[in-house]
Structures are given as C-alpha cells and as structure tokens.
C-alpha cells in the first residue's frame, strides 16, 4: 500500500529569514510591544513626589533603552543560531522581555518623560553584537546571554538603591524585571552557555556603561 506523501520541508532563503527580524525591529522601535503580562505596578498607587519624577523618568528611559538593546541582541543571536532549540530559546526570552519594554514605556509616559532619541542606534548596534556572538557558536552565544543578564541584574539592583523610598510603583517593575533577567541568565547557563573570558566581560560592561550614561540624557 502506498503511503501518502509527506509535505516537503520548507527551506528558508536569506530573504525569508530576514523578514522576521526586520518586522521585529520596526515593531520594537515603533513602540508596538507584545506584552503578555500585566504590569507589576498595575494596582499600586503612584505616590512619587513631583520633585523626583524627572530623575526617575530618566532612569526608566535607561531601562527602556536597555530592553531595546536586549531585543536586538536576541534577534541577532537567533538569526545566526546553529540549532533550532537555541534559536527558539532566544526568541522565547525575547518575547517575555517585550513585557519589560511595555512596562518601562508606560512608566516613562506616566512620569512625563520620553524614550531615548538614540533607540535606533542601540538596536542596530546590539543586533550586530548579537549576531557576532551567535557566529562564535551556540555555547558562546548562550554564555553571552548569561553574562549579559548577570550584568543587567547588577544594573537593576543599583537602580533600586537609587529610587526614592516613596516610589513603590517603579520599584515593583524593576524587581520583576530583575527576577526575569536572573531566570533568563540561569536558563542560558543551564542550556550550555560557557563562561566568557574576562576581557569579553569587561568590554561588555564598558559598552553597557556608555549606553546607560548616554541614554540617561538622550
């Protein structure tokens, strides 16, 4: 008995594979975020005094720019990932971090602030860095994720220390973001991520410091 033929597996050419990251980049930079979870601050009253709102808006602009960069890093790494499992894990983490983008953008708007003028630059540069990390192999790429998330958690904890005590609303957002980032880093490490050499970690830290200081003002 002749078995029914199976549909041929579709092979994506380079143009096909570019469509998804281009679409994601346009949606991210346009502010069309896919948020699957309600903001941790949703039911918390906004009790931040007026004299602190400008500074906290600038801090949240930094965090929003960091999430713009994170989206691009994941997209760049997924674009060149060797295995489908690694690609899907990167895309899943990126989808979850879309929540962070939405939460930060909403808090910035509440505080009367604005997003960074340099978001397109953060995105383009981070996509390139992510692709370079991915080309080094999946284990290096996952190690890059783990180290990135470790540094992001350190950054968020330092911001939590800077927040005014009255700003429980922003604090709830940053605490949830920190928990998510720590989980993503652990998942990348457990999936086979290697420890990056000290010079690479130092360069990542320097790059992050330049971005955070610039985004605070621009």
pLDDT of residue 1: 36
Would you give the DSSP letter of residue 63? H
The first and second tokens of residue 144, run together, are 């890059």
pLDDT of residue 106: 93
Other Cβ atoms less than 10 A from the Cβ of 53: the count is: 17
pLDDT of residue 217: 92
The closest alpha carbon to 146, from 90, 214, 193, 198, belongs to: 193
What are 53-98's pLDDT values in tens digits? 999 999 999 999 999 998 898 888 888 888 888 888 788 877 888 8
pLDDT of residue 4: 40
pLDDT of residue 8: 41
The closest alpha carbon to 173, from 95, 53, 181, belongs to: 181
pLDDT of residue 94: 78
How many whole angstroms separate alpha carbon 9 and alpha carbon 3?
A: 17
Domains and CATH numbers, the chain: 49-217 (1.20.1260.10)
pTM assigned to the model: 0.87
Around 137, how many Cα atoms within 13 Å sit in the side-chain half-sphere? 7
How many whole angstroms separate alpha carbon 42 and alpha carbon 90?
A: 28
Residue 40 — left, alpha, or beta (φ > 0 → left; ψ -120 to 50 → alpha)? alpha
What are 170-182's pLDDT values in tens digits? 999 999 999 999 9
Concatenated DSSP letters for 107-152? Answer: HHHHTT----TTHHHHHHHHHHHHHHHHHT-HHHHHHHHHHHHHHH
pLDDT of residue 81: 85
pLDDT of residue 19: 78
The series of mean pLDDT values per 10 residues for the chain, 218 residues long, is: 40 62 80 82 91 95 93 88 83 83 94 94 92 90 91 94 94 95 90 88 90 91
């Amino acid at each position: 008995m002749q078995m029914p033929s199976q549909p041929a597996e579709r092979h994506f050419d380079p143009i096909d594979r570019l469509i998804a990251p281009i679409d994601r980049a346009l949606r991210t930079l346009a502010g069309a975020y896919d948020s699957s979870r309600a903001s941790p601050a949703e039911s918390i009253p906004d009790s931040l005094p007026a004299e602190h709102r400008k500074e906290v808006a600038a801090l949240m602009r930094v965090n929003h720019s960091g999430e713009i960069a994170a989206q691009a890093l994941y997209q760049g790494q997924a674009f060149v990932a060797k295995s489908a499992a690694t690609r899907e894990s990167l895309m899943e983490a990126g989808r979850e971090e879309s929540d962070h983008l939405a939460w930060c953008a909403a808090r910035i708007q509440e505080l009367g602030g604005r997003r960074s003028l340099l978001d397109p630059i953060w995105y383009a540069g981070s996509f390139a860095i992510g692709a370079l990390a991915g080309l080094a192999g999946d284990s290096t790429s996952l190690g890059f994720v783990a180290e990135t998330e470790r540094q992001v958690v350190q950054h968020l904890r330092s911001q939590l220390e800077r927040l005014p005590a009255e700003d429980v609303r922003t604090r709830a957002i940053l605490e949830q973001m920190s928990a998510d980032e720590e989980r993503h880093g652990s998942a990348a490490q457990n999936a086979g991520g290697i420890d990056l050499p000290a010079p690479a970690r130092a360069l990542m830290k320097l790059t992050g410091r330049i971005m955070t200081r610039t985004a605070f003002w621009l």
